[in-house]
Amino acid sequence: MFFVLLSHFAFNYFSGDDATGNLMTIVGMIASPTFIIINGILLGMYYRTRPRDFDRFRIIVTDRGLFLLTIGHLLVLLSHATYAVRFVSITDAVGVCMLISPWLVATVSPRTRLLLALYAYAAALTVVLFWHPAAHYPMVLKETFFGRMEHGGFYVYAFPIVPWFSLELAATALGDRLGAYGSEGNVGAMHGLLLRTAAIGAAVAAALNLAYHAARQGGYVSAFATHAVGSPFAKMPPSLVYFLFYGAIGLVLISASLRLASVPRMAHVVRGLSTIGQTSFVVFVIQFFVYFTVLHAVRPHLPLAWAWPLYFGASIVATLAPALAWHRGGYNRFLTVGYRRLSEELGWQTHRRMPASFSH
């Protein structure tokens, strides 16, 4: 959430050619892959460690996913209506993941999920590069689910669903292995897996990025094709190098957070900070009001442009104070469309044992 605040502050405070703003935006790009990876890891770990309770958990996740795609989308729309009304937010992509990923986690092995993730991303990349519809509805379909490289289009911005879903699905396989180590109490193996995966991702990203620059200079393939695969800054749609590079940083941060939580003196700090994650949707909506409505309007009138750290700090307080009050009041219970209550009333919740094949 800090990186979300950082990037959105930079977007609305600095001009497009400001070096400080560009650097903050580049750093802030850590946010989205890390958030999606955390979601996927959580699903995989929960199923591995608490399989008997997973059906109840899946109902909760489905309810939240339906909320994000309906009421949540409208709230995000209201929160930054001054910037865009046609968009696919990351919350929309997360909502779709919440509907599909839990079912796949419970029915498909981690290895198969990883392969499905690779196939899904490859399919999305193929569609982006080779399908160029001119008609309205096919164009909207492409932008919603796969993304686009061309300028113009229906959406002001879009987090295409299939590429982000593929990242989360791959993260569920990682979460399964982390859950296995956690069940054994092997915390060192958990850190080792996170850091090895990060190192592999960073190495592959570096190799692809070198190939990207070589291909561009040699003119072997189109700039669009190389950018879609090899640029670390291609976010919409996300390039493979963007996922690998920033995802690797996210995995290192996850490992560091776990280590910090294991330090007795810091455990209470981590628990306090975790409340921000537990109210992440509320923080997300509030920060859009703070940055895309308030800051966007007052920026031309702010004195002392060099005092941006003070303004950024004030924006963090303005965003987190109401979110923490929301958390203290337990108001997350209102982030629902009633699916969980309905399922309990109709007796949809079941208790199934984990398939034996998943225990190996």
Instruction: Give residue-wise pLDDT tens across range 187-223.
Output: 999 999 999 999 999 999 999 888 888 877 766 666 5
- Tell how far CA 190 is from the center of its chain: 21
Q: Give me the pLDDT at residue 348, please.
A: 59
- Domain around 61: 31-266
Gap between the Cα atoms of 274 and 216, Å rounded: 43
> pLDDT for 29-69, tens place per residue?
999 999 999 999 999 999 999 999 999 999 999 999 999 99
Q: Looking at the domain assignment, is residue 109 inside a domain?
A: yes
Task: Tell the residue number behind the tokens 């009421």, with chain if given.
Answer: 71
Q: Is residue 106 part of a domain?
A: yes
At residue 32, the pLDDT reads 95
In-domain check, residue 351 = no
Tally the domains of the chain. 1
> What pLDDT does 349 receive?
52
Measure CA of the first residue to CA of the last residue in the chain; give whole Å: 35
Residue 336: inside a domain: no
Over the chain (360 residues), the average pLDDT of each successive run of 10 is 94 90 94 96 95 92 95 91 84 96 95 96 91 90 90 85 97 96 93 97 92 75 64 88 96 92 84 87 94 92 91 96 93 91 72 37
Report if residue 304 sits inside a domain.
no
> Residue 215: what pLDDT?
76
Specify the pLDDT at position 233: 86
Residue 174, pLDDT score: 97
pLDDT at site 350: 47
Residue 95 confidence (pLDDT): 96
CA distance 326 to 69: 21
Is this structure's pTM higher than 0.85? Answer: yes
Give the model confidence (pLDDT) of 252-269 as tens digits: 999 998 888 888 888 888
- Does residue 86 form part of some domain? yes
Position 309 in a domain: no
Which pLDDT score is estimated for 358?
31
pLDDT at 232: 87
Which residues are bridge partners to 88 per DSSP?
A: 158
pLDDT for the residue numbered 85? 80
CA distances for 122 relative to 128, 149, 237, 260, angstroms: 10, 15, 13, 36
The token duo for 337 is 């469309």
The answer to the question of residue 4 being in a domain is no
